[in-house]
Structure 1
Amino acid sequence: MNAALLAAVLLSAPAPQEGGAAAGPAPPAELTEPQKLSYALGVNVGRSLLADGLDPDPQLFLNGLRDALTDAPVRLSDEEIAALLAGAAERVRKAELAAAEKRAAASRAAFEALAEKPGFKPLSTGEVVRFDRTGEGPKPAPTDRLRVHYTASLAGEEVPFFATRGTNEAGETVGEPIAAPLRGLLPGLRTVLPTVPVGSEVTVGLPPDRAYGPDGGPGVPPNAALTVTVELLDVLPAGSEEDAADPAGTDESGGAP
């Protein structure tokens, strides 16, 4: 295992999953900090391997770890180790691709179902749009900058991959709108939003070719359809303030989804 792979295994453990098996007892409080770190590294490695779909024999895994850490004779050649790790990495890669395609296929089916729901109007460019609230302000021009609240998710999924607002533990709505140039948004939104008056809220279904397309995006597998809810708050004068960076990622033009 090379240094980069080891670092990735040790430092990128997933968070504990809810609803899983009950956590084991905590390490004794009398352990020293270095001993606690050793235990924590073991937990991280185990969780990372399971998250990747790998389920090694615990005793053999510990034997290999001990031999490597103590510079003891290793029972396999470097060539065998490299081949085994490469095979495992390929299995993980294929499993991840299959899972991504399954999500994308489900999103496309959900998009087709969305297009059939009452209130959604299909556009000739492929999007479907529903006005949840119609405002009375101006409609943006293609060169305008917008202040918006929006939530973006894979079509059919309830949990968004990005939202400008949410609910805190007290049940209060929190979050700030973002400002972004219209021409920097995803293709489908560049088509839809010039038809939307300020003060409106719309739900937009984006087919894959009007969203992130075959390359996918942050939290979005390739060829996935999206559902985006946009509340258009204002049209901003060009250059009035810097655009907010969007943690959800950008399209090829460098803007928010």
Structure 2
Amino acid sequence: MTAVNVALLAVLALSAPAPQDDRAAAGANEPSPVPVSKLSEPQKLSYALGVNIGRSLLADGLDPDPELFLDGLRDALTERPVQLSDEELSQLLADAAARVRKAVAKKRSAASLAALDRFAEGDATTTRSTGELVRFETTGTGPKPSPKGRVRLHYAAGIAGEGTPFFTTRRTTSEGEAVEEPIEVAVEELLPGLRTVLPEVPVGSTVTIGLPPDRAYGPAGGPAVPPNTALLVRVELLAVLPVPESAEPAAATDGETP
């Protein structure tokens, strides 16, 4: 959960009426003799919001001091003077959000490398000397692309181990039907690992290519891809296309097409 989501939950808590029973009489920092299960629905919601925020913070790797966290929450909810400036608050929350994003990216990167290792263990998977993993689902009999050629293909690229691709030529129509819309692209415009593997793939083939980070987006990462992350790319090679004489494709390093 980001700092923004935490703030939204705090706003939601404002809609719950303040407890007016033995819980209030017991003191702000003392446990109540009244079980939460016996309280009114608005009071239960206040407790549920606290549990949800606490669990989310811990899941994101944030471990705030409970008393100071409650002091800040209490000041915000009761409109008492806040003890930090808006600038300090913004900077602290921004720094925390950046740490969370970095930790999440690191976890996704590590998980992708583990998933790529599992992919490599498949009997039908071969490993190239340059590091790419190749698994043919079907092998066509058509021509192979030139390293400087153009191709038409169906394409789905995702972070290894994650189910939903971040780039795909498949779309869902308004009627709910899944259809493929092939793209045409120069081989030189693809990621380094794909530029290496595709010239060895005959037209009519469907192949899944595992790309270690240095054959994909590397330490810089890319659109929707954290740094040092492995990819799995599924390609159905439909055709080799003629190259226009004036075409001068530039090799992609961080372009929109993976």
TM-score under structure 1 normalisation?
A: 0.66
The one-character-per-residue Cα deviations of 1:105-164 (angstroms, maximum 9, x if unpaired) are 000011011111110000000011011111111100011011110111111111111110
Correspondent of 2:194 among 154, 175, 189: 189
- Superposition map of 1:1-257 within 5 A: 57=73, 60=76, 63=79, 75=81, 80-168=85-173, 172-239=177-244, 251-252=252-253, 254=255, 256-257=257-258
Identity of aligned residues (%): 49
Q: Give the counterpart letter for 1:214 in structure 2.
A: P
- For 2:96 and 2:157, locate their aligned partners in 1 and report how far apart those are by CA, in whole Å: 31
1:58 and 1:236 map into 2 onto residues whose CA distance is: 66
- State how many pairs are aligned: 194
User: Structure 1's 63 and 180: CA in aligned 2 closer, same or farther, altered over 3 A?
Assistant: farther
Could you list the per-position Cα deviations for residues 39-90 of structure 1 after superposition, in whole angstroms to 9, with x for gaps in the alignment? xxxxxxxxxxx899799849826949xxxxxxxxxx458x722112101100
Aligned AA for 1:224?
Answer: T
Query: Contact (CA 8 Å) 1:183, 1:255: kept in 2 or not?
Result: no
Where 1:203 maps in the other structure, the secondary structure is strand
Question: Which structure would you say has the larger Rg?
Answer: 2
Whole-angstrom distance in 1 between the partners of 2:216 and 2:76: 46
Contact residue 212 and residue 251 of structure 1 kept, 8 A = no
CA distance in 2, matches of 1:177, 1:209: 27
Q: 1:172 Cα deviation (Å)?
A: 2.6
CA offsets, 1:230-254, max 9 Å, x none?
00111111139x9xxxxxxx94274
Rounded to whole Å, the distance in 2 between the matches of 1:58 and 1:165 is 49
- Secondary structure of the structure 2 residue equivalent to 1:141: coil
Name the amino acid aligned to 2:153.
V
> Relative to 1, partners in 2 of residues 1:233 and 1:62: Cα closer, same or farther, differing over 3 Å?
farther
One-letter identity of the residue aligned with 1:256: T
CA–CA distance in 2 between the matches of 1:59 and 1:153? 44
How far apart, CA to CA, are the structure 2 residues paired with 1:226 and 1:147?
21
Q: CA deviation at 1:209?
A: 0.3
Q: 1:255 to 1:90 in 2, by over 3 A?
A: closer
Relative distance call for 1:204 and 1:59 in structure 2 (3 A) is: same
> Aligned-residue CA RMSD in angstroms?
3.2
Partner amino acid, structure 2, of 1:183: E
Unaligned runs of 5+ in 1: 1-8, 14-23, 25-49, 65-74, 243-249
Gaps of 5+ in 2: 6-14, 16-52, 63-68
- Verify the 8 A CA contact 1:150 1:228 in the aligned structure 2: yes
> TM-score, normalized by length of structure 2?
0.66
Aligned mates of 1:201, 1:58 — CA distance in 2: 59
Distance in 2 of aligned mates of 1:130 and 1:87: 47
- Contact 1:185 / 1:253 at 8 angstroms: preserved in 2? no
